Amino acid sequence: MTTQKTPLLELRDLQVAYGGIKAVQGINLHVNEGELVCLIGANGAGKSTTLRAITGLVPVAGGSIWYDGKQTTNTPSYQLVRKRLVMVPEGRGIFGQLTIEENLAMGAYVRNDHAQIKQDLERVFESFPRLAERRHQSAGTLSGGEQQMVAMGRAMLARPHLLLLDEPSMGLAPLMVEKVFEVVRNIAAEGVTILLIEQNARLALEHADRGYVMESGHISLEGPGKDLLHDPKVRAAYLGEDEA
């Protein structure tokens, strides 16, 4: 008899409201340790709000959030980072006046293992050679793709157990999108659990172990990424293909 694993992240009837409007209307979602799970849907479906609730950036109106076996509903963000729950936000959120290296170092502000931090920093530079070449350059002078590299590298310096990625390919050129997803694959291969929101539904589902489709604050579909990739409704709504 096999015992069912406790999810690393679980949302139970999660509800989030802005004023009197419910942006997230009682969703249930889980991410098991070691999984790469994607959440896709149209703009305004409630995807980013869901991530912001998980990370304590917006208050939860109902339901609960469980991380690593403990309830973390409305836990402040700074406490969650110490529990190795880390997000790369939509829009990247880099510090434009700081150098690339200083931005990356901000990811390790809760750590004091200085020798390991130095090793992790060099690993980020190995993953993003372009950043290594410009480590003393102000991050605000970088292209959008380079800023996304900084944001992802900064998250890795926090040594995440669970990594939340909010639209990592938004606004990037195709070659840079490929690079971002190569890094996502590498991070997942290292055993980091990932919950990904991504506008490129095809790429997200191709890489995901499982996926959820969100519509108007509700989860409308869920299943293995490959199954959703071939679901007629998903293909028609998010992949630009006629429903068969």
* pLDDT at residue 49, as a whole number: 95
Average pLDDT over residues 72-96: 92
pLDDT of 243 higher than 60: no
pLDDT of residue 171: 87
- For 75, phi then psi, to 5°, come to -70, 135
In the block, tokens 């190795």 appear at 84
Chain segment 178-201, per-residue pLDDT in tens: 988 999 999 999 999 999 999 899
Rounded Cα distance between 207 and 178, Å, is 12
Q: Is the distance from CB of 34 to CB of 41 less than 8 angstroms?
A: no
Among 16-20, 37-41, 100-104, the minimum mean pLDDT is found in 16-20
pLDDT tens per residue across span 103-140: 999 999 888 899 999 999 999 999 889 899 999 999 99
Architecture field, domain 1-84+162-171+193-244: 3-Layer(aba) Sandwich (3.40)
Q: Which DSSP string corresponds to 173-239?
A: -HHHHHHHHHHHHHHHHTT-EEEEE-S-HHHHHHH-SEEEEEETTEEEEEEEHHHHHT-HHHHHHHS
Sequence spans of domains, the chain: 1-84+162-171+193-244, 91-159
How far apart are the C-alpha atoms of 83 and 156, rounded to whole Å?
14
CB 163 within 8 A of CB 171: no
Summarised one tens digit per residue, pLDDT across range 126-176 is: 988 989 999 999 999 998 889 999 999 999 999 999 999 999 998 888 988
* pLDDT given at position 90: 86
pLDDT at 234 over 50: yes
